[in-house]
Amino acid sequence: MRENGAATDPGLRAPPGLPAPVPAPRHCDMAAAARLFLCLLAAPSACFALSSVAAAVPRLRTRKTVGPGDGMNVLFIVVDDLRPVLGCYGDNLVKSPNIDQLASHSIVFSNAYAQQAVCAPSRVSFLTGRRPDTTRLYDFYSYWRVHSGNYSTMPQYFKENGYVTMSVGKVFHPGVSSNYSDDYPYSWSIPPFHPSTEKYENDKTCKGKDGRLYANLVCPVDVTEMPGGTLPDIQTTEEAIRLLNVMKTRKQKFFLAVGYHKPHIPLRYPQEFLKLYPLENITLAPDPWVPEKLPPVAYNPWMDIRQRDDVKALNATFPYGPLPDDFQRLIRQSYYAAVSYLDMQVGLLLNALDDVGLSSNTIVVFTADHGWSLGEHGEWAKYSNFDVATRVPLMFYVPGMTTSSASRGGRVFPYLDPFSHILGLVPQGRSEKMVELVSLFSTLAELAGLQVPPACPQTSFRVALCTEGASIVRHFKSSEQTVQKEDVCNDTERCYSEEPVAFSQYPRPADTPQWDSDKPKLKDIRIMGYSMRTVGYRYTVWVRFNPENFSADFEDVHAGELYMMATDPNQDNNVYNNTLHGRLLKKIVDFLKH
């Protein structure tokens, strides 16, 4: 199958009893897409008859309940590779005034975690409300509706309950993992939008000191010199704003998902953002070394960045490096600059929500698919179970719940220039409860007043609609500025029963770092690292995994990690081998059984 959707894979068949997957729409058939969009403009209700080729898809309309955001639209913003380096998360260096302003009207979760720190598995997990062991997607090369089960998605659920659902930018991971169509037409009312310039993302567009162009990791650019005179995230913002202007006159509720690519590598962003971060202000990671007691299986050798021209020129040794200190600072500087570029895009989008008068009846969610290591533990990637890879920002703006109802036409999100950074904005409410991205589906359903999908049974491969993440609305508070705290636990034996818990996992091909350790294909996975994070500790066991039947053997433990957060917040001192932790292993096993 070709990536542009011009051909379909003849091997793509549904399991017995399930509807056949819908072939990907041809991206080149712009006339058909235009007709569908014009239909949306003229008569949205009739439009669904055209777009729902999904005669094969079961209708999911359910009775409504009354939720805090009953009858509201949803603006769902998801960012690629964004760890919580934001002012509202206590980072004193980064300039993120627009995201901080959103936080000042939102409930902000300080301890939110992805279920796998890589793009496609994480996104399919939170968009279906199922964990990776249920989607059976640990890499990029299978479509869950065919490979595991015909699971309903969050946007599909909203679509089948009367919402116009739209995708702009990177929401699903493109390619086979979303059927080369971003799961259209199952999940979306109109064909998803992708920026025309994203095809240049890995091209040689970075000007070196010699004036030649390179495919670098660190890549500040003059936007006017880029192909098309723009960048993908700028195009994403423009299209999302255009759709908001279309929907402001429609009487149908909408679910608009907007996916931003930065700060995903390459770190390609408008060069003026470097001015915000003088190199003399950039420090190394607090722990830029490989921890002495880190099991080799837990390490990722950051192969992604090794392929970039500027990193290749450093000739760093495999697998541990390290990179020179001065280049480490350049990476960190560009990551922060890319975050501020992202903040500008989010600010323009939210300002447009004000402009069209929809801030008072639109729920806004802001999150990321996973984090990214900026030199901690000697790593420069996601691809691990550490907090720097699995912890993400997560905030919810719900008019009338997280903040007082905005008067219609009133401004909630005036644009704030990152170059004249405004200090003093704090979250409206903050929760330190441990939460997971797999809970997003049920949480948004409850907030919107839809019936919350039922909890999945122990075996749910043939259950179309259920979720494995409980709604976290119970952790929301009123608009008071409050902080919900977890009690810190220092006793390992007492900690095992602590709730709630966030679970993550990561596959490896071998016990030692290999060229494909970061992103092993399913057929090559031999070990799975299951990780459990509570307020008191992170506990990880690396066990034998059989990719043919997707089974983990907890009798065959290859390595383990245990970090006590009270004394080791950066997760550098592994005490697994000198601590009794049988109850912790039992807790992971019991969880996976249920």
What letter represents residue 59's amino acid?
A: R
164: alpha, beta or left? (left if phi > 0; alpha if psi -120 to 50)? beta
User: Secondary structure of the chain: what % helix, strand, coil (to 5)?
Assistant: 30, 20, 50
Provide CB contacts within 8 A for 52, sequence distance 6+.
185
What are the two backbone dihedrals, phi and then psi, of residue 347, each rounded to the nearest 5 degrees?
A: -60, -45
My answer on whether omega of the bond before 418 falls inside 30° of 0, hence cis, is no
Residue carrying structure tokens 């909630």: 412
Provide CB contacts within 8 A for 101, sequence distance 6+.
347, 350, 413, 414, 416, 425
Q: Which of 93, 555, 516 is nearest to 339 (CA)?
A: 93
Q: Is there a catalytic annotation at residue 119? A: yes
Nearest-angstrom CA–CA distance, 337 and 343: 10
Q: Is there a catalytic annotation at residue 261? A: no
Please state whether beta strands 206-207 and 502-508 pair in parallel, antiparallel, or not at all (unpaired): unpaired
The one catalytic residue in 39, 88, 173, 206 is: 173
Provide the β-strand partners of residue 166. 256
Separation of CA 154 from chain center: 14
Q: Are 228 and 182 in contact (CB under 8 A)?
A: no
Please state whether beta strands 391-397 and 429-436 pair in parallel, antiparallel, or not at all (unpaired): unpaired
Cβ neighbours, 10 Å, residue 128: 27
What letter represents residue 565's amino acid?
A: M
Provide the β-strand partners of residue 393. none
The one catalytic residue in 39, 47, 119, 466 is: 119
| 465, two tokens | 């609609």
Instruction: Cite the active site residues.
Output: 119, 173
